[in-house]
Homo-oligomer: A and B are copies of this chain.
């Protein structure tokens, strides 16, 4: 980094200090944006193995050298502000379950995403299966506080990897009529799931309406891998939504300070959010800047640390300045069992997300053990707490899935 870099960094550092500033302090937030602009301009972002992305970024003035593109932050913000919707309607099979995402809409809550292990209600610890997945979707449907049944609540270890996107889709469509999240296994999987979900929802989408939200992760520091880039493009072209997130381990994949993590994360998501708008102006997006300290002794992230809650606080403010909905995390924890540590860490993270004004809160139920495990017991405890927030609707049995669509998905699975 250049010698003068410290000036921007220090301004951001002085601003975030170590407390939440509730007052509007646009100058302080601008110091983070300016520092991120220096990162984008002088260091750039690495876009791995996706020439289409690099060509597109060159068209808006990006300076490519190999797979690194140096970018103009002001231009990226201007593209996002011009096109990205401040809120959009995420639709379910049941129109009564449609949820607004963004602006002053209440937060949408979705369960844990990506757990390989499951702790069953009887305390038994098992690998995720197709059968358990169905039960988790049914539990998410029944949970008053969850307004989205998510995606990959656990990993279906008993299903070959290429079949999982459609198997998960089937579970979300059969066992619930709430909105859920899309597949990012591959661009082809994302497209297939989007088309089949659109058929199941069965209502044409107006502007600012879609059926699926997809988790598009940058790979900090300052990198996007090929699959997320290709999925982001495919999803935008389908008119579906992407939650562009930077999930940083402070001290490992980002600077260890709150200010440093915010600067890096903001630079990363600016690039992704602008790309979505370049592929399809008006594409619904959600911005996520999340950072957890990395514990060097245990080589694991430390969930529940207040530094992360400061990152969330300022990330939400940066998102509001940008005019896009913001992501938060739910009751996430480093605890191995659902004890006082689990409760306290999860309670603090969830409350910080809600207080920050986050619009889509992922990992809201069931998360244990750094997210490697979904616990049925915690799933229900978290869901009960969310229900108290009062945003959900009473759980009915899901609307029956159209036979033709179920047959179509089963037919494709039979061929694969």
Q: Give me the interface of A with B, judged by CB distance under 8 Å.
A: 17-24, 104, 106-107, 304-307, 309, 313, 316-317, 320, 331, 338-352, 354-357, 378, 381, 385, 388-391
Contact = CB atoms under 8 A, between A and B. Distances in A.
A352 B305 CA distance: 15
A357 B18 CA distance: 12
B355 A21 contact: no
Nearest to A389: B306
Contacts of A356: 22, 355
Contact of A346 (B331, B338, B347): B347
Contact of A355 (B20, B345, B347, B389): B20
Nearest to A18: B390
B354 A347 contact: no
A307 B10 CA distance: 38
Given A305-B388, A347-B348, A351-B351, 4 more contacts: A21-B357, A343-B343, A343-B344, A344-B381
A355 B107 contact: no
A352 B355 CA distance: 6
A23 B309 CA distance: 18
A357 to B, nearest CB: 4
A320 B25 CA distance: 14
A348 B351 CA distance: 5
Nearest to A339: B340
Contacts of A338: 340
Contacts of A17: 106
7 contacts: A21-B104, A331-B344, A341-B343, A348-B348, A350-B351, A355-B355, A355-B356
A315 to B, nearest CB: 12
B340 A381 contact: yes
A323 to B, nearest CB: 12
Contacts of A347: 304, 343-348, 350-351
Contacts of A309: 351, 354-355
Contacts of A313: 355
